[in-house]
A and B are shown apart, each in its own frame.
Chain A
Amino acid sequence: MTISWVQAAILGLFACLCSNSCMAGQAVGNYTIGRPLVGGLICGIVLGNVPLGIAAGVAMQLVYIALVTPGGTVSADVRAISYIGIPLAMVAITAQGLNPMSGSAANLAKSVGTLVGTVGTVLYYAVATMNLVWQSFGWKDVHNGKLDKLTAVNFGWPWISHALFSFIPTMLLTYYGSTAVTALRNALPMDGVAMKTLFTVGGMLPCVGIAILLRQIINTPLDFVPFLVGFTLAASLHLNLVSVTVISLLFAVIFYEVEMARGSNNGTPSVADGPDDDDEEDI
């Protein structure tokens, strides 16, 4: 599988639309087009192999299931994961001759995709920094009372930041990266230590994604109990996720009733502002 300039340019355009400071709206861009699952579908269509794209996207989605960016700090940026990582993973899987649906193909996708994840962070900061230029235009316009120009500051100029730091890097990295990934096939034998480690790491990477998510939703040690209940239901009883969700809804209803009843009994109408408001820190 190779990636042509046209295909690389289309991937670059999608990278512009879905970055964290995105040009297609946060809900549509970052949260939809940017999710690796959706990115896998789009990369599959662009590169002409939808099942392979989806398989790579599913694998990558697990690593990045938690893309929480508290306070604008970013641990990973979706443009690089979805539109550089997935295409290169697809090329790598094809080059190694793996069955796209196999677990080893998924583990390779996770490793290759995550390697470029840090590139996204660099691009994110580059775009955000360059936007300061357009914002300085904006402050001048507000100061001089030219309010209509604010629309261009917010919707027009940032395209230049993205052309420089989303479009061009994505286009170059996917075009030249695919050649490099194909060439690697001969350099690294599959049963060597390097490839064995790469596949093993690929299998473990989703644990990091889940752990990031746990950091977000677990506030007291007791919160681990529902997590382990969900795990046991799926691992030991082999329930699918819809069934796990239904069972969890039952517990949610019970907890809601208990909490509401507890509040009315001791008669203190304490305004229970969450202690979990915006710190996702320690227990």
Chain B
Amino acid sequence: MENTTDTMKKLDRKTLNKSFHRWFWGALTCFSQEHMQTFGYMASMLPIIKKLYPKHDDQVKAIHAYTAFFNTNPMLGTVIVGITASMEQARSNGQNIDGETINDMRAGLMGPIAGIGDSLIDGTLIPILLGISLGMSSGGSPVGAIFYIVSWVLIAYFGQRFLYFRGYKFGDQAVSFLVGKQGAAIRHAIGIVGSMVVGGVLASWVNVTTSLKLVGSNGKVFLNLQDKLDSIYPGILTVAITFFCWWLMTKKHVSAIWTMLILVAVSLVGVLLGFFNPGLSY
């Protein structure tokens, strides 16, 4: 149990795997508003710390670096866990790294990684996968749901695994790809894909129509508003309602729930005026 200086301590694959799996399955299991992912982080660093520091006192000392608040996008955040594993290894080998250095790195990265992850994973990748899956599941077929489960779980597991080991291998240089110039260009390009697919999802799946028809004295319809609108720009009401919601939430800072309630009011007025009518009866 002696720390000999001639043998460098190196984490084996089994320990790294264990740490990765603890993050994958437990990043948010003990989530609270106050400490958020802190306990998930501590639990996933525990195998690393136990491996690197044989003495119990050293273990306790090392874990204290991870008691600081942590919260980021759990998918891309995996890279930060990998980076700290390599920093912890360097620290245990007597390099000039202390708990504060590790914490500065974590605190500096969690903001940008959260921003990139939310827009890249939640805002782009998942809507694309879901958009494709929804089409496969139309008509009540389970194919789309199964496609989503398989494709997303594979991407999430192997993607996070890749990020963890990339982080471990390259340390804090691993992030330069994500936040550097090339990374910014890639993110912008992926953003184009996201925007276009979201437009496609809206057109394919949402259809707001009006039932307003003006009937002349001879009983003939002389204005069918929906047909008129379709001949100008198909789906114009759908886009208009979407922009209205976007405008309320972004410009007027109305919450999503209030936006929905405003739609209820719009619908009620529309129904009373005869603008909307789903045309159902028993």
A80 in contact (CB, < 8 A)? no
CB-CB contacts below 8 Å: B221-262 with A: 233-235, 238-239, 241-246, 248-251, 255-257, 259-260
Q: C-beta contact mask, A229-258 vs B, less than 8 Å → 1, else 0? A: 111111110011110110111011101100
CB distance from B11 to the nearest CB of A (A): 17
| B144 & A101 in contact (Cβ 8 Å cutoff) | no
**A234-B199 contact in complex given A54-B140, A199-B278, C-beta closer than 8 Å:** yes
In the complex with contacts A66-B122, A200-B271, A205-B260 CB distance below 8 A: yes
**Size bin of chain A's contact surface:** 35 or more
Question: Given the complex, which residues of B lie within 8 Å of A239, measured CB to CB?
Answer: 200
- B203: which of A61, A127, A235 is its contact (CB, 8 Å)? A235
Residues of A within 8 A of B28 (CB): 20-22, 26, 30
Instruction: Indicate if A270 sits at the interface (CB-CB under 8 A).
Output: yes
Distance from A271 Cβ to chain B, minimum over Cβ atoms (Å): 6
Distance (Å) between the CB of B220 and the closest chain A CB? 25
Contact A71 B181 (CB under 8 A): no
A40–B145 CB distance below 8 A: yes
Q: What separation, in Å, do the CA atoms of A232 and B153 have in the docked complex?
A: 31
Asked whether B197 lies within 8 Å of A230 as measured between CB atoms, the reply is: yes
**How many residues of B are counted as interface, with CB atoms below 8 angstroms from the partner's CB atoms?**
131
Is there an interface contact between B267 and A200, defined as CB atoms closer than 8 Å? yes
Contact A230:B245 (CB < 8 A) given known A107-B278, A128-B31, A129-B32: no
Q: How far is the CA of A245 from the CA of B245 in the complex (A)?
A: 25
| Binary contact readout A190-225 vs B (1 if CB under 8 angstroms, 0 otherwise) | 110101110111011111101111111110000110
Contact B64 A142 (CB under 8 A): yes
Kindly provide the distance from the CB of A17 to the nearest chain B CB, expressed in whole angstroms.
Answer: 11
A65 interface contact, C-beta 8 A = yes
Using Cβ atoms and an 8 Å threshold, which residues of chain B touch A267? none
- The answer to whether A48 has its CB under 8 Å from any CB of chain B is no
- Contact status A50-B199, CB under 8 Å: no
Smallest CB gap from B176: residue in A: A271
Q: Does A266 contact B (CB under 8 A)?
A: no
Within the complex, the shortest CB–CB distance from A37 to chain B, in Å, comes to 5
Docked complex Cα distance between A245 and B196 (Å): 7
Closest CB of chain B to A129's CB: distance in Å? Answer: 7
Please, how many angstroms separate the alpha-carbon atoms of A37 and B242 in the complex? Answer: 22
CA–CA, A94 to B63, complex, Å?
A: 55
Asked if B179 is at the interface of the complex by the 8 Å CB criterion, the answer is yes
Task: List CB contacts (< 8 Å) of B103-132 with chain A.
Answer: 111-112, 114-116, 118-119, 122-124, 126-128, 130-132
The reply to whether A214 and B246 contact each other, CB–CB distance below 8 Å, is yes
B82 at the A/B interface (Cβ < 8 Å)?
A: no
Smallest beta-carbon distance A265→chain B, Å: 13
In the complex, A38→B143 CA distance in Å?
11
Q: Kindly provide the distance from the CB of B231 to the nearest chain A CB, expressed in whole angstroms.
A: 11
CB of B196 within 8 A of CB of A230, answer yes
Report yes or no: B24 in contact with A25, Cβ–Cβ below 8 A: yes
Are B250 and A274 in contact (CB-based, < 8 A)? no
Q: With A134-B30, A214-B246 given, is the CB distance from A277 to B160 under 8 Å?
A: no
User: Does residue B215 face the partner (Cβ distance < 8 Å to A)?
Assistant: no
User: Which of B57, B67, B189, B235 has the largest number of chain A CB atoms within 10 A?
Assistant: B189
Residue B51 is within 8 A (CB to CB) of chain A in the complex = no
Tell which of B22, B64, B199, B260 touches A208, judged by Cβ atoms closer than 8 Å. Answer: B260
Q: Does A23 contact B (CB under 8 A)?
A: yes
Mark each residue of chain B from 35 to 55: 1 if its CB lies under 8 Å from any CB of chain A, else 0. 110111011001001100000
Q: Which residues of B contact A41 (CB under 8 A)?
A: 142, 145-146
B26 CB-CB contact with A under 8 Å: yes
**What A residues does B31 contact at CB under 8 A?**
20-21, 72, 127-128, 131
Q: Which residue of the partner chain, among A66, A96, A100, A151, contacts B43 with CB atoms under 8 Å?
A: A151
**Which residues of A line the B interface, CB within 8 A?**
20-28, 30-32, 35, 37-38, 40-41, 44, 50-52, 54-55, 57-58, 61-62, 65-72, 75-76, 96-97, 100-101, 103-104, 107, 114, 117-118, 125, 127-129, 131-132, 134-135, 138-139, 142, 145, 147, 150-151, 153-155, 157-158, 189-191, 193, 195-197, 199-201, 203-208, 210-218, 223-224, 226-236, 239-242, 244-245, 247-249, 251-253, 255-256, 259-260, 263, 269-274, 276-283
